[in-house]
Amino acid sequence: MLLKNTYNELIKILAKPRSYLGFGALTLLVLIIIFAMRLDGKSIISFVTATFENSISFNGHVLNGNLIAFIILQMLIVHVPLLVALVTGDLISGEAAMGTIRMLATKPISRNQVVMSKFLAGAIYTFLIVVWLGFLALFVSRFIFGTGDLIVLNSDGLVILKDVDVLWRFGLGFCVAFLSLLTVSSLSICLSAFTENSIGPIVATMSVIILFTIIGSLDVTVFDTIKPYLFTTHMAAWRSFFENPVPLKDIIQSIIILVLHNVVFVVVARIKFSKKDILS
Amino acid sequence: MQNETIIDVKHLAKSFGSFEAVKDVSFSVQRGDVFGFLGPNGAGKSTTIRCMMSLITPDKGSIEMFGKSLQTHRNEILRNIGSIIEKPDFYKYLSAEKNLEIFARISGADVSKKEIQEMLEFVGLSTRGKHKVGGFSHGMKQRLGIAQTLLHKPELIILDEPTTGLDPQGIIEVRNLILRLKNEQNKTILLSSHQLSEIELIANRMVIINQGKSIVEGSVNDLLQAEEIVVKVTVDDSEKAMRCIPQLAYAKNSEVISSTEIEVLMKKNEIALFNKHLVLNDVAVFSMEPKRKLEDYFIKIIQA
């Protein structure tokens, strides 16, 4: 029954026009970035490399597909949560607003299974968004700009990664980015179990992300103890795969924190939805 | 089989904060019944039905269906029930067929595409199967709702106010559908409705609830038979007819409505006697029309 309802949930997601907003917006944004880099990419790169020109000589194809993919990821990963929440935040509350929750809850499927199927469908949608972002960022960029060594500017300085050493980093980076976005999806579905209007959970999810991000960026001692436990602190963990050596310990810690958040959101949503009187 | 209890609700109670929506509701429905569930607005009908469909959790009391407790056998019980609670809501962005497919998939039965087509035909929507539900009228949604309740071939059908918001044509369509379910498929039906004439037409048993309590339960015929009813009599001369009435012990509260119409309160089995009496007293009788019985009975019970 869980899988049958997950299939139902995917049909519903795919039938909603708003589900394609994310794919459309990503396509448009990536094409704009690629277009801009194609036109003026060299001057942007030279602006960055100028700082290091006294000590390092840059030869070869610096403005390549790998660098463009990294720039795209860096720019868009901040905005993708909104695109995910736009669809997943509606999964439970949208049914309540439409009245279909009444029909759904009178079927021989447990409320836990209803919630779990929504989480699974949300996860599949999030995965498809990440895959689409990966395809556009990596494959389209590499197709247009070609391949080459990747130069990444970190707080510690420049990291130069060989072309052959890049693809696996992108692969694992996308996996961690998926986990980050899955946390956003889980949060929005969890909030969705508390309300009966479609917009509320979407706005609330973005508010939580903005609030946590601000707390994370404030250099105030009182917040230092909670910062490591905020999921927003770990949403950029994908970037750690582009350091040399890769800080595995930090990445694993981020993965644990993100997984724990997902578990908490799922459990809270299940408890809330199971005990909820459906009055709509 | 006919005496098998399908629904057994005992001392149900449910509060929302300090408001007691249902205080003490008990009734039972037998297999094959078309059971009328009556009560004024706010009596607790919808809350009771929502408890029965596990949409809300009752504070007290027990609900048994098919001989099993709803609390412990929820999914097993719901597999045998088709329901429309208040109004059927569908995914507007999906077609009628897709909506039925979605609900059939989680109904606990294997429903083929052919059966979905047959069901759309049964409710008169076969030509609209591919159309999005967003463009459907309320009546069409109601018929689609009935299709949805029947898809998995449930033994029990629960319809909460299925004719609310429908125009007269829609009411007749839904009523005919319910009658077909009763006559052709011998389903057990629990029907909550404000349309008392409908309940009178199609229900064989009923319960009346008021202020969260069940007041009276039994066979519609038995409950109404014992009641005195108002009969509108059309005669050639109402004054002459009125002069005959004081001789009769059974005819009470007579009233002149017009020069040719009077209303008299009497029991149903006394109507023929009254007719005979008028004719013997040289009063020409053109018609004797009992006013709607259930409506009077309902008002009397509620006011009491």
The per-residue pLDDT for B14 is 94
The Cβ of residue B146 has, within 10 Å, a number of other Cβ atoms equal to 26
Q: Enumerate residues 6+ apart whose C-beta is below 8 A from A164.
A: none
Query: Are the beta carbons of B272 and B290 closer than 8 angstroms?
Result: no
Q: Enumerate residues 6+ apart whose C-beta is below 8 A from B74.
A: A108, A110, B54
Q: What is the DSSP letter of A74?
A: H
Residues of A in contact with B148 (CB under 8 A): 103
Q: Residue for token digits 């981020």? A: A254
Judged by CB atoms closer than 8 Å, whether chains meet at A103 and B103 is answered as yes
The per-residue pLDDT for A168 is 93
**Ranges A96-105, A243-252, B96-105, B222-231: which has the least confidence:** B222-231
Name the residue in chain A with its Cα closest to that of B70: A108
Distance from chain centroid for Cα B223: 15
Cα–Cα distance for residue pair B213/B74, rounded to 1 Å: 25
Strands annotated E in chain A: 150-154, 157-161
**From the list A16, A17, A107, which residue is nearest B106 (CB)?**
A107
Mutate to test the interface with A, among B14, B80, B105, B131 (most CBs of A within 10 A): B105
The DSSP result for A7-19, as a single string, is HHHHHHHHHSTTH
Q: Enumerate residues 6+ apart whose C-beta is below 8 A from B296.
A: B227, B229, B230
In this prediction, residues A264-268 reach a mean pLDDT of 96
Q: Enumerate residues 6+ apart whose C-beta is below 8 A from B182.
A: B34, B189, B202
CB-based contact, B116 to chain A, within 8 Å: no
In this prediction, residues B260-279 reach a mean pLDDT of 86
The Cβ of residue B192 has, within 10 Å, a number of other Cβ atoms equal to 25
In this prediction, residues A208-214 reach a mean pLDDT of 91
The Cβ of residue B57 has, within 10 Å, a number of other Cβ atoms equal to 13
Name the residue in chain A with its Cα closest to that of B85: A102
Cα–Cα distance for residue pair B199/B37, rounded to 1 Å: 8
Distance from CA of A97 to the nearest CA of B (A): 10
Judged by CB atoms closer than 8 Å, whether chains meet at B90 and A12 is answered as no
**From the list A15, A98, A108, which residue is nearest B89 (CB)?**
A98
Res. A248: pLDDT tops 60: yes
Q: Which amino acid is present at B15?
A: S
The most confident of B44-58, B113-127, B214-228, by mean pLDDT: B44-58
What φ, ψ does residue B205 adopt, rounded to 5°?
A: -135, 160
Supply the mean pLDDT for chain B: 86
Residues belonging to chain A: 280
The per-residue pLDDT for B1 is 46
Judged by CB atoms closer than 8 Å, whether chains meet at A16 and B93 is answered as yes
Q: Which amino acid is present at B268?
A: K
Q: Which amino acid is present at B299?
A: I
CB-based contact, B98 to chain A, within 8 Å: yes
Question: Between A and B, how many CB-CB pairs are < 8 A?
Answer: 79
CA-CA-CA-CA dihedral for A195, A198, A204, A209, to nearest 10: 130
Q: Enumerate residues 6+ apart whose C-beta is below 8 A from B46.
A: B85, B86, B160, B161, B192
Element (DSSP H or E) covering residue B232: strand B228-235
Q: Which amino acid is present at B204?
A: N
**Ranges A122-126, B87-91, B253-257: which has the least confidence:** B253-257
Cα–Cα distance for residue pair A184/B112, rounded to 1 Å: 38
Confidence of residue B112 (pLDDT cuts 50, 70, 90): confident
Res. A269: pLDDT tops 70: yes
The per-residue pLDDT for B228 is 72
Cα–Cα distance for residue pair A64/A61, rounded to 1 Å: 6
Interface of A with B in 12-31 (CB under 8 A): 12, 15-17
Q: What residues are paired with B264 via a beta bridge?
A: B231
Q: What residues are paired with B60 via a beta bridge?
A: B13
Res. B227: pLDDT tops 70: no
Judged by CB atoms closer than 8 Å, whether chains meet at A107 and B108 is answered as yes
Distance from CA of A164 to the nearest CA of B (A): 47
Name the residue in chain B with its Cα closest to that of A276: B56
**From the list B78, B90, B105, which residue is nearest A4 (CB)?**
B105
The per-residue pLDDT for B293 is 65
Nearest partner of A13 among A129, A99, A110, A182, judged by Cα: A129
Res. B248: pLDDT tops 50: yes
The per-residue pLDDT for A11 is 94
For B34-63, what is the HEC assignment?
EEEEECCCCCCHHHHHHHHCCCCCCCEEEE
Q: Which amino acid is present at A264?
A: V
Confidence of residue A125 (pLDDT cuts 50, 70, 90): very high
Cα–Cα distance for residue pair B133/A126, rounded to 1 Å: 28
